[in-house]
């Protein structure tokens, strides 16, 4: 048995087998073959190609059944690579004339192919590199007879163990088969954490040595409260954890999920508690947990894991479907936020030294009006449903907001000319997640219809702590007085300018901060859907006037520790027996 310590990223307990996802690096041996071996090597190539084709068809069918045909189209390009006559001929030539083994010939030809494509001007062709690399890994796995446990063959739910999970990997994981995530890197608001929270499964990230210590099939326990992972536990530990799991499951079940969507404090201050959504599969959770609509639709996930950018019509369909599903409540569609830890394929967004400070979100969109306007047109057309709002991420100052709104107006004009319907008075929101925006919120409020505070980024930028770096995760403090002062000022600036202000960063779903944010005057809380019920229960059980006093007191503290200790003590007083159930679990 080994116990590994990491960051408690998403609460919960899971006990199951480890499913390890690696960044496969193959070492391909070069062997000389004799003339007599040539036909055998060519036969092995054909076999591997046929098997890979079969595997891809099965995968395509599964994705089409689960997510729809559009998603399954990503495999079309993969299949085409397997049929590329030039490529196959090149491999055969090498086997015949250079007399090398098929694995080596195959990897040499692929490398040549990739190099040529990367030199091309044509973006579409350069983008095929990703498909080619993916397919070649599949074929090499067959040729080298690498043992791979396929997710499709799983008979039981598993815990995913990886160095890190890319957004496109999580986009294609079968969500219903997942019990939890364990990663070497990451922090409390990195991509994997956000997905785990949205799916309501535990995650321990930033372990650093998880992949070195956990083998495929190992029995593991994730404790998402303590941030620990136990590998191959003794029967005593396993028994204790089964008991703990049963207790937690009972407690969670006891959280009342009200059918009533609206919520107010006991002295009748109404606030909105809505949900964050990344994948279309999460939209039913909005209703399941009785959230008041979608407060953050992270649209970049529609773009990730795809070979081609989604068209205006594809996006339009996705937005209309979300709008219809959450009616009569609204959907706040955030325009794409790529960069940071969410990348499109390399040819579109080149790798950067410091992606969180680089070509990200609105900066990318304003530089690529072709991509941005396609999305804005799709959002506007969908807004004819009547319950859509739009918001811009990573705004750092008024000029970016104005430039974004100008493009939105251009799209409106185009659509009007084309006779297409849209909501002419669509609300436009600004995300406040860069300190410069927080400090100039007064000016931004005058030209926005609402604000949504993105604390995941606001914290990382104001405290200079990379949100995905486990080494500095201990400094990532939502309760830091610098962060709290900014939040309070943003709320006041918004209210002085008569606009409402929400929060869609993870902090809004942390029950410990609910009282504080409520007392500061926050109007909307948007969070992973599984968190909605407990935050609503908390709000229903407190007085706004008490929360205001608590907020006032908290703002006089000078360290995050003092803030947290005080909030815990106040919550304990107010919630008494319900404290553990609502705040801790």
Binding site residues, ligand PEP, CB under 6 A: 189, 296, 298, 337, 433, 454-457, 504-505
504 counts as catalytic = yes
- Active-site residue, from 78, 191, 329, 480: 191
If the CB atoms of residues 454 and 511 are measured against ligand PEP, the closer one turns out to be 454
Examine residue 519 and tell whether it contacts Mg ion (CB under 5 A): no
Q: Is 20 a catalytic residue?
A: no
The tokens 């009547």 sit on which residue? 386
Q: Report DSSP letters for 83-130, one per residue.
A: T-HHHHHHHHHIIIII-B-HHHHHHHHHHHHHHHHHH-S-HHHHHHHH
Q: Say if residues 555 and 479 touch (Cβ distance below 8 Å).
A: no
d(CA 250, CA 511): 19
User: 10 Å Cβ neighbour count for 542?
Assistant: 22
Given ligand PEP, Mg ion, none, residue 455, with its beta carbon under 5 to 8 Å by kind, binds: ligand PEP
* Integer Cα distance of 43 and 28 in angstroms: 19
Cβ closest to ligand PEP, residue 41 vs residue 433: 433
**Residue 433 binds Mg ion, judged by CB under 5 A:** yes
Q: Which residues pair with 183 in a beta bridge?
A: 162
DSSP 475-519: G--TT-HHHHHHHHHHHHHHHHTT-EEEE-SGGGG-HHHHHHHHH
Q: Is 477 in the site for Mg ion (CB under 5 A)?
A: no
187 binds Mg ion, rule: CB under 5 A: no
504 binds, among ligand PEP, Mg ion, none (CB under 5 to 8 A by kind): ligand PEP
Tokens of 120: 């091309």
Q: Helices 511-520 and 560-575: crossing angle, nearest 10°?
A: 90
Q: Are 312 and 320 in contact (CB under 8 A)?
A: no
Report if residue 423 touches Mg ion, rule: CB under 5 A: no
Q: Considering beta carbons, is residue 60 or 456 the nearer one to ligand PEP?
A: 456
| Residue from 20, 365, 411, 504 carrying the catalytic annotation | 504
What's the closest the beta carbon of residue 330 comes to Mg ion, in angstroms? 20
Could you tell me the smallest distance in angstroms from the CB atom of residue 530 to Mg ion? Answer: 20
Residue 298 CB, nearest distance to ligand PEP (Å)?
5
**Residue 433 CB, nearest distance to ligand PEP (Å)?**
5
Shortest gap between Cβ of 469 and ligand PEP (angstroms)? 15
Helix, coil or strand: residue 217: coil
Instruction: Please report whether residue 300 would count as binding Mg ion according to CB under 5 A.
Output: no
**Near Mg ion in 447-466, by CB under 5 A:** 454, 457
**Contact, 13 vs 202, CB < 8 A?**
yes
Closer of 264 and 485 to ligand PEP (Cβ): 485
Partner touching 168 among Mg ion, ligand PEP, none, CB below 5 to 8 Å by kind: none
Nearest CB to Mg ion, comparing residues 433 and 510: 433
Q: Which residues pair with 219 in a beta bridge?
A: 17
d(CA 537, CA 573): 16
Q: Which residue in the block uniquely carries the two structure tokens 């040819």? A: 347
Nearer to Mg ion, 454 or 521 (CB): 454
**What are the CA-CA distances from residue 202 to residues 289, 455, 582 (Å)?**
18, 21, 17
Q: Report in angstroms how near the CB of residue 458 gets to Mg ion at its nearest.
A: 8
The span from the CA of 60 to the CA of 580, in Å, is: 45
Q: How far is the CB of 453 from ligand PEP (least distance, A)?
A: 7
Judged by beta carbon, residue 230 or residue 336, the one nearer Mg ion is 336
Q: What residues line the site for Mg ion (CB under 5 A)? A: 433, 454, 457
For the annotated catalytic residues, the residue numbers are 191, 504
């Amino acid at each position: 048995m080994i116990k590994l310590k990491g960051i408690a990223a998403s609460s919960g307990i899971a006990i199951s087998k480890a499913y390890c996802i690696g960044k496969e690096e193959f070492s391909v041996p070069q062997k000389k073959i004799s003339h007599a071996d040539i036909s055998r090597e060519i036969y092995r190539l054909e076999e591997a190609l046929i098997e890979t084709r079969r595997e891809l068809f099965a995968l395509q069918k599964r994705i089409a059944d689960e997510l729809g045909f559009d998603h399954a189209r990503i495999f079309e390009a993969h299949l085409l690579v397997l049929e590329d006559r030039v490529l196959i001929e090149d491999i055969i030539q090498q086997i015949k004339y250079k007399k090398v083994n098929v694995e080596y010939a195959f990897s040499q030809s692929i490398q040549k192919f990739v190099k040529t494509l990367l030199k091309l001007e044509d973006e579409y062709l350069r983008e095929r590199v990703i498909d080619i690399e993916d397919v070649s890994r599949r074929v090499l796995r067959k040729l080298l007879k690498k043992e791979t446990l396929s997710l499709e063959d799983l008979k039981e739910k598993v815990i995913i163990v990886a160095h890190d999970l890319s957004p496109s990997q999580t986009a294609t994981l079968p969500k219903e088969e997942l019990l939890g995530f364990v990663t070497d890197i990451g922090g409390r608001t990195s991509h994997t954490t956000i997905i785990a929270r949205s799916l309501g499964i535990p995650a321990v990230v930033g372990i650093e040595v998880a992949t070195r210590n956990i083998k495929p099939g190992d029995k593991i326990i994730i404790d998402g409260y303590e941030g620990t992972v136990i590998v191959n536990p003794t029967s005593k530990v396993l028994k204790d954890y089964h008991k703990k799991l049963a207790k937690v499951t009972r407690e969670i079940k006891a959280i009342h999920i009200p059918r009533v969507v609206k919520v107010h404090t006991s002295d009748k201050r109404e606030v909105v508690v809505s949900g964050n959504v990344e994948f279309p599969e999460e939209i039913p959770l909005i209703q399941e947990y009785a959230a008041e609509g979608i407060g953050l639709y992270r649209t970049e996930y529609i773009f990730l894991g795809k070979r081609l950018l989604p068209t205006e019509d594809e996006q339009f369909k996705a937005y209309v479907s979300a709008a219809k599903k959450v009616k009569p409540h609204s959907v706040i569609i955030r325009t794409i936020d790529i960069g940071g830890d969410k990348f499109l394929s390399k040819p579109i967004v080149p790798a950067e030294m410091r992606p969180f400070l680089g070509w990200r979100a609105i900066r990318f969109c304003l530089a690529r009006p072709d991509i941005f306007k396609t999305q804005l047109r799709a959002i506007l057309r969908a807004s004819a449903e009547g319950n859509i709002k739009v918001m811009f991420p990573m705004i750092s100052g008024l000029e970016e907001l104005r430039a974004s709104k100008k493009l939105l107006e251009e799209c409106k004009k185009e659509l009007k000319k084309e006779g297409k319907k849209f909501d002419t008075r669509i609300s436009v929101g600004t995300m406040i997640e860069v300190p410069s925006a927080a400090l100039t919120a007064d000016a931004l409020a005058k030209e926005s219809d609402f604000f949504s505070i993105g604390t995941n980024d606001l914290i990382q930028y104001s405290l200079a702590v990379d949100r995905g770096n486990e080494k500095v995760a201990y400094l990532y403090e939502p309760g830091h007085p610098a962060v709290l002062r900014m939040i309070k000022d943003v709320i006041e600036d918004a209210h002085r300018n008569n606009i409402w202000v929400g929060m869609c960063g993870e902090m809004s779903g942390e029950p410990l901060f609910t009282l504080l944010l409520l007392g500061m005057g926050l109007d909307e809380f948007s969070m992973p859907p599984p968190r909605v019920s407990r935050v609503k229960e908390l709000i229903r059980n407190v007085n706004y006037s008490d929360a205001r006093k608590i907020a006032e007191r908290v703002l006089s503290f000078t360290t995050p520790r003092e803030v947290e200790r005080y909030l815990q003590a106040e919550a304990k007083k107010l919630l008494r027996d319900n404290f553990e159930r609502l705040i801790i679990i």
